[in-house]
Structure 1
Amino acid sequence: MITVQTTIKSTIEKVWEFWNKPEHITKWAFASPEWHAPLAENDLREGGKFSTTMAAKDGSMSFDFWGEYTLVKENEAINYTMGDGRKAEIIFKEIPEGIEIIESFEPETQNPEEMQRGGWQAILDNFKNYVENN
């Protein structure tokens, strides 16, 4: 498993809402300013499915990141299986500094693990920035 994390100065309710509502997901679910997330769908329940389209703004490339939830504990944890069968888990924890998010995922085999860690951390950093500034 690869793990990325951050601490956000916010409430658990706001973090949970911004993480899970499609109208917010489209504002942060991409790794760099050259990319965006034009579409997000989310059925947040065990057995529910999610999908986020991530696309280069210049139209040169896009892909759908999707999967199925295996665990949903409101304001605490989300586990899911990605479309390619890899597993991921996210823990939301209230600490004195705010909300700590710890996200762990099974790496894929096409790209180096450091590249994957960097991409997932960049998306998590985008999320932190979005929550703290909206």
Structure 2
Amino acid sequence: MEKKRIHIESLINAPLDLVWDTYNNPEDIKQWNHASDDWHCPSSQNDLRVGGKFNNKMAAKDGSFEFDFEGTYTEVTPKNSISYVLGDNRTTDMKFQDENGKTKVLIDFDAEETNPEEMQREGWQSILDNFKKHVESKA
């Protein structure tokens, strides 16, 4: 069965170098990688290379729930694109595009089958929006 793909994107008012570095730096990831204010990312590990792994712990601030968002990189083209596969074999493809000093980030990912597609899109978009705010605060 073919997996449904979901697309999100954001235009970030920051240069490509800063966007790339901030997206992949574990100390920065802990600052932006959450979908709502009652969640956080207490730990992040990132080995950004083909075959390398990442693991970002996502946790409710009240301690009621946490999970590891982890995967393995299948393609890394610095300052251009990243692809990875999650533990359940869903894939994600990202593109980073210079737009006259701003950076467009495009993400396409396989939907999972537990939650509605719109909920998944909103959750991932919310995380990307938090990333945008974090990067722009550094620019």
Give me the whole-angstrom Cα distance separating, in 2, the residues matched to 1:97 and 1:5: 17
Deviation at 1:126, TM superposition (A): 0.2
Contact kept, 8 Å, 1:86 with 1:105, in 2: the verdict is yes
Counterpart-to-counterpart distance in 1, 2:108 and 2:134: 21
State whether structure 2 residue 11 is matched by structure 1 residue 3: no
Per-residue CA deviations over 1:74-110 (Å, capped at 9, x if unaligned) read 0000000011110000000001261000000000000
Match of 1:79 in 2: 83
Aligned residue in 1 for 2:56: 52
C-alpha contact (below 8 Å) 1:7/1:97 kept by paired residues: no
Q: Does 1:125 align with 2:107?
A: no
What pairs up with 1:82-121 in 2 under 5 angstroms? 82-96=86-100, 98-121=102-125
Corresponding pairs, count:
134
| Corresponding residue for residue 23 of structure 1 | 27
Alpha-carbon distance in 2 for matches of 1:117, 1:96: 27
CA RMSD in angstroms comes to 0.7
Secondary structure (helix, strand or coil) at the match of 1:133 reads helix
Provide runs of 4+ in structure 1 moved above 4 Å. Answer: none
Could you list the runs of 5+ residues in structure 1 that have no partner in the other structure? Answer: none
Q: TM-score, normalised by structure 1?
A: 0.98
Residue 18 of structure 2 corresponds to 14
Q: Percent identity?
A: 46
Q: Which moved more, 1:91-100 or 1:71-80?
A: 91-100
Partner amino acid, structure 2, of 1:93: Q
| TM-score computed with the length of structure 2 as normaliser | 0.95
Supply the AA of the counterpart residue of 1:49: K
- Cα distance in 2 for residues equivalent to 1:85 and 1:17: 26
